[in-house]
Structure 1
């Protein structure tokens, strides 16, 4: 890889790090936000949800806009919008304006993420160079989740929650300045033609409504009018989008692209990977804090060994793909993901310790994460022509984002339901006040552990399904020897 290639990869991977870190860093700061702004749990949940909805709903559109306007231009625009929205969040006097700022942050993140991934595809052709680049991306994603948790705790404790937003402003400005120097002015400006306005509106609104239904389902109730109405309207708009694309002169997503079995399978697998992985980070951090009694900073540091394994394994994924083949590497990754998640679930105990419960299975998960992320990204983008790089990045990013949202919604619902069932069937017995308090704490820890275990076993089932689907792949195998 040439020095300019290394510089561009460092820039794009750092952007991935920032976007993943932004989700985790704000989540850690939410309790302090609530205390400062006087917001209840519902308002706080939408500080996180507004970002997820905008991010997930606009990734597909962002990728296609990058194909039309130029990837460098859209990348810089996304970083600029992210910085401005972060500054607005840092200055927000109330929860409503903070939620609005987070939604605009999601818009900027969607544009920057889709354009960054498309630039990577353009700069590194399919083969060993791309595999290495995707490995670095996976490593930065894993590191971003932990770094965000750690920095969120440190900044909130030392400087207050607003510092987490100003950190985004600083980092986005630095990345934009570097992009102006490193990326060629016309990087990725490859597609000319009309714009599918009807497709853009129906796809964005449909994806946004589905994301809204998923992230708000546990709060409003899965069978509530709000959840069913938003989800139904979103699905109806996506069906309308499919109809529009068959008639559009310059479709947002050409039907011929979606007709590729390899691309469809790869995107399903990418979604299933995140359905297991994303909520696993959240659930492990909760277990360490609520059951084992770790502080938020300790909960984040508990995931550090996993991230170190990701950083070590990710650069080797290209060689693994060459040695055993793309599809075998993909299946291996999902088998390890299933085994690690199931092991983690069964290891959890109410009175355990970090080394006896989380450490060993998290190391296995650290090896699985880059394998599944790199192989699904390779498979999802292998057939993308230069003028389709933004579209390919938008599709796989959308699949991953919705896998994250769906996984978090489903697994948290499973954990909550199982915890409630265990609490209702528990019995603390008749003891004195001190004994009753101790028994109640033990019962609570047992109930929460049962909930986390059930959720993680559900995640393992999603990974097992992905492993089965990957056994008979239909994606093109083209793996030159690494250099």
Structure 2
């Protein structure tokens, strides 16, 4: 008697339905994990004042709640991606989720500043393990073609919508009355615990393990690469803060150390037999272009969330929860854009889809740059006397909503094809590190974008703010109050300048797509490493 494998038996409708259900649950797990990782970068933002008041954290240190997560996440992504390649992507994915859940539990019950900041760093570690493994698992779990394209569309939608979902969820949870004695801000951490643990528990049932290659970890590369990325992310984050800026000694030292360590990393990688980051990952022009654009686009998108959320709260006067809902159309739009591009990418070259998507996003930022509000001394004095907000008359539906929708659909049309082209035809043993590079570009690009556009904003607003402080002080407003009012009065000028520069960044990314992204739709429906021989029967 001869055993016949499942692969040799024609699939029945029942088998096909079972396989599709299996893939569906696999995608649910991966999407849950990615959404949890991405939204945690923004969910704590709205809760910062409440956290500071409850734990007695100084205002100057509150930013570390956000920066600490970004540092660990961005700095450890390359290592996390490579560990998945070496020791099994499902295993590393599960470990990452478990670490993230435990860290969220610690953060939710934090009793002091040190405990909370340690939990945020540990969350970043868990995210750095889970996120690149999640992307690589899509490439290895779903067959090339429409199924994989749809899976990447969902992944991209979760990645793009996470920031908006985080703002909504953070605003809602923070505003809740204490639940079983727990303040609302603690729930922004604790909500991750059941999600992470359930996803980790179900992963072996729906996700296939990849081959492992233990004993090949490039330790010198891991150390220099991780520390170099930490230096860059910290330096860029510090440069984007008004109290520090580009001229701060620690900013300069961190950036210089980051560049030096990455130079050492490059030398190490050229000499070891099993490098943490193989140069071959960048040899493909289309893939290298995808990595570049995926640094430029989030640089502008993250800054859009930052400046627009502040504008909506400080200038228009929305509450934190209402601000979160103001971004709800972004979540819907990016899902629409991702779904549209996942269908088009089967028939249309990625260059056209992503090229049009980036142009739409650039146009949206130009639209945001045209926001105007009254900023005269008399207007600010009226605000000081309790007469509403400067931008109370700004019509959200006419001035903000159309551009949020335009940008979100453009982002959905950009992320899906670029995610596909970034990991397309990578060697099986490089899928994790390729995913790690893609995530790293997004994180470093986001930090760099906030730093650059923050500097642009401060420079554009500086003259107006100085003038307003002088005029308000002359009107009898105390210096501290004058500074606060002048910041609000000059904010729109700085934010609109930042939006315009953000549009330029995305336009540069669009130009790179049109010039260098060279892969056909039919090629995305095939598997196998680039350069591998094609066997014709």
Question: Cα distance 1:150–1:470, how it changes in 2: closer, same or farther (>3 A)?
Answer: same
Alpha-carbon distance in structure 1 between the residues aligned to 2:513 and 2:207: 36
Greater Rg over alpha carbons, structure: 2
Residue ranges of structure 1 left out of the alignment (5+ in a row): none
- Does the C-alpha gap of structure 1 residues 126 and 403 become closer, same or farther in structure 2, counting only changes over 3 Å? farther
Match in the other structure for 1:374: 416
Contact 1:138 1:370 in 2 (8 A): yes
2:80 counterpart of 1:71: no
Number of the residue aligned with 1:246: 270
Structure 1 counterpart of 2:236, from 214, 218, 235: 214
Q: Which residue of 2 aligns with 1:257?
A: 281
Change (3 A) 1:129 1:144: same
| Residue in structure 2 matched with residue 268 of structure 1 by the alignment | 292
**Structure 1 equivalent of residue 425 of structure 2:** 383
Determine if contact 1:347/1:356 at 8 Å carries over to the other structure.
Answer: no
Q: CA deviation at 1:481?
A: 9.4
Q: CA deviation at 1:291?
A: 0.3
Unaligned runs of 5+ in 2: 1-18, 375-390, 526-537
Q: Give the conservation status (yes or no) of the 8 Å contact 1:76–1:112.
A: yes
Selected match of 1:47 from 57, 62, 65: 65
- How far the C-alpha of 1:58 sits from its partner, in A, is 0.6
Q: Counterpart of 2:236 in 1: which secondary structure?
A: helix
1:174 to 198, 202, 207: 198
2:488 counterpart of 1:466: no
Cα distance in 2 for residues equivalent to 1:43 and 1:132: 42
* 1:407 equivalent in structure 2: 449
> Matched residues in 2 for 1:318 and 1:290: separation?
38
Equivalent-residue separation in structure 2 for 1:376 and 1:481 (angstroms): 11
The offset of 1:127, in angstroms, is 3.0
Number of corresponding residues:
479
Normalised by the length of structure 1, the TM-score is 0.93
1:388-429 CA-partner distances (Å, limit 9, x unpaired) = 110110111111111111112222232233223221234758
Query: Aligned partners of 2:399 and 2:58: how far apart in 1?
Result: 33
- 1:312 deviates by 2.1
Summarize deviations over 1:15-50 as a string: whole Å, max 9, x none: 111111111111111110111111122210111101
Between the aligned partners of 2:368 and 2:24, the Cα distance in structure 1 is: 36
Instruction: Confirm or deny: 8 A CA contact 1:382 1:476 kept in the other structure.
Output: no
User: 2:171 maps to what in 1?
Assistant: 153
Give the corresponding residue for 2:227.
205
CA gap 1:439/1:103 in 2 versus in 1, 3 angstroms: closer
Quote the offset at 1:144 in angstroms: 2.2
Mapped to 2, the partners of 1:46 and 1:474 lie a distance apart of: 38
Q: Compared with structure 1, are the counterparts of its residues 241 and 454 closer, same or farther at alpha carbon in structure 2 (3 Å cutoff)?
A: same
Query: What pairs with 1:87-166 in structure 2 (closer than 5 Å)?
Result: 87-158=105-176, 159=178, 160=183, 161-166=185-190
User: SS at the partner of 1:479?
Assistant: helix
Query: What is the distance in 1 between the residues matched to 2:503 and 2:372?
Result: 14
Counting only pairs closer than 5 Å after superposition, residues 307-346 of structure 1 correspond to structure 2 as 307-346=331-370
Name 2:388's counterpart in structure 1: none
Asked if residue 304 in structure 1 is aligned to residue 355 in structure 2, the reply is: no
Q: Decide whether the 8 Å contact of 1:26 with 1:164 is kept in 2.
A: yes
Name which of 396, 399, 411 aligns with 1:357. Answer: 399
Give TM-score, length-normalised by structure 2: 0.84
